[in-house]
């Protein structure tokens, strides 16, 4: 692919961390505070810990397949058919996620 580039594991970790922090700052405070009350700080800390586990997992998977993109990794790990279905699900649901969260009263 012309003009393609690769990012390092460190850059991936920074991107995911910044995305997670931005999402938490913009969408989470009101529902989290109304549900957790005085323990909202604990819930935010727990959520950050879970996000860091996902970052660690992404980096491990990326290190196992350094020459493949994320969609190619899914196809390799889950097989061509199931991997394409997972990729299609991510592709279709990602733009709809904010609306779904609002519909479900999460955001």
For residue 66, pLDDT beyond 60: yes
Which pLDDT band, with edges at 50, 70 and 90, does 82 fall under? Answer: very high
Does this model's pTM top 0.85? My answer is: no
Which pLDDT band, with edges at 50, 70 and 90, does 10 fall under? Answer: confident
For residue 77, pLDDT beyond 80: yes
Is residue 28 within 8 A of residue 106, CB to CB? The reply is no
63-69: average pLDDT? 86
The H helix count followed by the E strand count for the chain is 6, 0
For residue 28, pLDDT beyond 70: no
């Amino acid at each position: 692919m012309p003009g393609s580039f690769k990012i390092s594991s460190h850059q991936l970790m920074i991107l995911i961390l910044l995305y997670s922090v931005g999402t938490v700052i913009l969408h989470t405070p009101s529902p989290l505070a109304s549900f957790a009350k005085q323990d909202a700080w604990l819930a935010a800390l727990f959520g950050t810990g879970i996000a860091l586990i996902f970052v660690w997992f992404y980096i491990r998977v990326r290190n196992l397949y350094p020459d493949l993109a994320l969609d190619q990794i899914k196809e390799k790990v889950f097989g061509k058919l199931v991997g394409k279905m997972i990729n299609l699900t991510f592709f279709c649901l990602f733009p709809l996620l904010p609306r779904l969260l609002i519909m479900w009263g999460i955001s």
